[in-house]
Amino acid sequence: MDLAELLVNENVDQVLALNARFEIIVWNKACELITGLKKEEAIGKSVFSVFPEMRSEQANADALDAALRGEKSFVPYNRTSAEGFVEKHFIPLAAEQSVIGVLIVKHDVAHREKVESELRVLNKSLENFKCIIDSAHDAIVTFDANGNITYWNAAAEKLYSYTAIEIMGRSAGCLLPSNMTHKATEIIEGLRTGSFIDVVIKQVTKSGKEIDVVANIFPLKDEDNNFIGGCKIVKDVTDLLKYQHSIEALNKELTIKNRQLASVNSELKTFTNIAVNNYSETLRQLYLHFEYITAHEAGKLSDPGKGNIRKAQAAIQKMKLLTSDIAAFTRLNEFGTDRSAINLSALISTVIDDLKEKTDTGNTEFIIDALPVIHGNPFLVSMIFHHLLDNAVKFKDERRTLVVRISAQAGVKGDTIHNEAALPDAIYDIISIADNGIGFPKEQEEHIFSIFTRLDQKRKGSGIGLAMCKKAMELHCGFIITATEPGIGATFSCCFPRPDA
């Protein structure tokens, strides 16, 4: 075997030669490996019987014809071809200035195509990544091992006012104030050790303006894990720090105001307790003195004098009731925000029983519908319904049987309640007390919860009960809705927000 034959036979590409009748006369080992035909089986066969695509595919047929005319041809690979990723060279074989056959070299480029495809995907990924980096809201800057800037995205241009052309290649230290340039060296040394650095630091823009930034800096390494530079992601927090300092100052001021308010409240509480106790004791002594006069000096008093003393005693009792109610109102906040589950049906039944003992509830019918369990302060909730039911009895229409109905709407969304106090996202349990009493004028709806408001001076009361109800509902983050029709009745609806809403 001579050298030329050896080179053909050992070539990794398929090498075959045809005579002028397109019969195979040369068939190397690569042809055997790929087609499965031994050399002795292939020699003498028509190339079209072994490779039908040589005739069926026009590019191959044209290349064969051209080779027989003495022209070299190259047929690139075609994805749709039966041969797939194979490119072919057609070379005429000549002897004594005439073509006697064709040499065909078939080169498999599947691996090259795979690599090229992977490179295209990688390049596209790099393009997409660059688009993401360029469109990021945070400034992104990379620098080499010497601290010289190698990448500068659009957000960095906007933040620092330097264009990429102006800043590329310059030291990252130029972005630091003159008295902090040593920080650049410290950061580089920290990155060399593999450290990730998160720091709030001052930077300088092109115009010389100092800004506060949060910088997240991390090292960049090559395939051998050698330090080659760093990348920093920068967010401007100048305004944020200003707001933070303002909030801290406001919080400090608020703390001082709260302490002052707590001191004033403590003093006011002490004053109220002393005033109430002294006032109550004074009223008690006055009442007793009048009682003594009535008991021991009655014979010396005229009938009008006795009547005036009784009127004075009645006024004193009224003042004692008012004082007691004022004291109760001022102490409502002392109950805090402790909550527990309350069985409303049981609680309201107890309140009604108490009312029947202390108040004339004759000719009155109480109807209690199914009521939910709510979360609240038991004492305050009991007080709310005591005052509302007491009011219903107090303002009944004497011409008919008083009917008081206690009903509930559970799980009502706040955005369906037509009241400015309702929170749209909250869920409320609404407990309503409706009566067929005398009602009250609609124009008084906004005023009836004001302290000392009394719509009917002839009826007993201090004018504080409804104000206490409103205050107690506010302590539950709830509110009361009223509806009235004079001469027909009134409805008070207590809206309790659910704790998990």
> Is 353 buried (19+), middle (13-18) or exposed (0-12) by CB count in 10 A?
exposed
Q: Look over the chain and give the mean of its residue pLDDT values, rounded to a whole number.
A: 84
The angle, 0 to 180 degrees and rounded to 10, between the axes of the packed helices 465-475 and 303-330 is 10
Q: Among 78-87, 191-200, 415-424, whose mean pLDDT is lowest?
A: 78-87
Domain 136-236 has CATH 3.30.390.50: no
- What lies within 8 Å, CB to CB, of 354 at 6+ separation is 386
**391-408: b (≥16 Cβ within 10 Å) or e:** bbbbbbeeeeebbbbbbb
Percentage, residues of the chain above pLDDT 90? 39
Architecture of domain 3-112: 2-Layer Sandwich (3.30)
Q: What radius of gyration, in Å, describes the C-alpha atoms of the chain?
A: 50
The listed CATH number (3.30.565.10, 3.20.20.70, 3.20.20.60, 3.40.50.2300) that belongs to domain 336-497: 3.30.565.10
Reference 156, options 217, 196, 205, 210; nearest CA is 205
Q: Vertex 152, ends 146 and 154: CA angle to 5°?
A: 170
pLDDT band at 462 (very low <50, low <70, confident <90, very high): low
Which residues are bridge partners to 404 per DSSP? 366, 435
Q: How far, in Å, are 10, 151, 293, 382, 396 from residue 231 at the CA level? A: 51, 9, 97, 66, 80
The pLDDT assigned to 153 comes to 92
Q: For the segment 418-430, what is each residue's pLDDT rounded down to a tens digit?
A: 888 899 999 999 9
Q: For the segment 268-317, what is each residue's pLDDT rounded down to a tens digit?
A: 666 666 666 666 677 677 777 777 777 777 667 777 876 777 777 667 76
The pLDDT assigned to 279 comes to 62
Strand duo 489-497 + 427-435: pairing: antiparallel
Which tokens in the block code for residue 113? 């195509």
Q: For the segment 85-124, what is each residue's pLDDT rounded down to a tens digit?
A: 889 999 999 988 889 999 999 998 887 777 777 888 888 8
Is the pLDDT higher at 125 or at 75? 75
CA gap 290, 292 in Å, rounded: 5
The pLDDT assigned to 398 comes to 83
Q: How far, in Å, are 272, 301, 323, 329, 343 from residue 334 at the CA level? A: 14, 48, 18, 10, 23
Rounded average pLDDT over 459-472: 75
Q: How far, in Å, are 93, 145, 335, 355 from residue 184 at the CA level? A: 70, 11, 59, 81
**Residue 334 is which amino acid?**
E
**Residue 313 is which amino acid?**
Q
Q: How many residues does the chain have?
A: 501
Q: For the segment 108-164, what is each residue's pLDDT rounded down to a tens digit?
A: 888 777 777 788 888 887 787 778 787 788 999 999 999 999 999 999 999 999 999
Residue located via tokens 């008919």: 400
Q: Among 29-33, 293-297, 416-420, 479-483, whose mean pLDDT is lowest?
A: 293-297
Which residues are bridge partners to 74 per DSSP? 89
Reference 255, options 267, 247, 265; nearest CA is 247
Which residues are bridge partners to 490 per DSSP? 435, 484
**Residue 4 is which amino acid?**
A
Which tokens in the block code for residue 222? 């090559």
Extents of the domains making up the chain: 3-112, 136-236, 242-330, 336-497
Q: Is the pLDDT of residue 82 over 80?
A: no
The pLDDT assigned to 156 comes to 93
Is the pLDDT higher at 351 or at 443? 351
> 34 near 42, Cβ under 8 Å?
no
The pLDDT assigned to 297 comes to 72
Reference 134, options 159, 152, 111, 121; nearest CA is 152
**Cα 380 from chain centre:** 35
Say how many CA atoms lie within 13 Å of 328 toward its Cβ.
21
Q: Among 9-13, 175-179, 448-452, 463-467, whose mean pLDDT is lowest?
A: 448-452
> 387 near 480, Cβ under 8 Å?
no
- What lies within 8 Å, CB to CB, of 291 at 6+ separation is 313
Q: 3-112 with 336-497: one CATH topology?
A: no
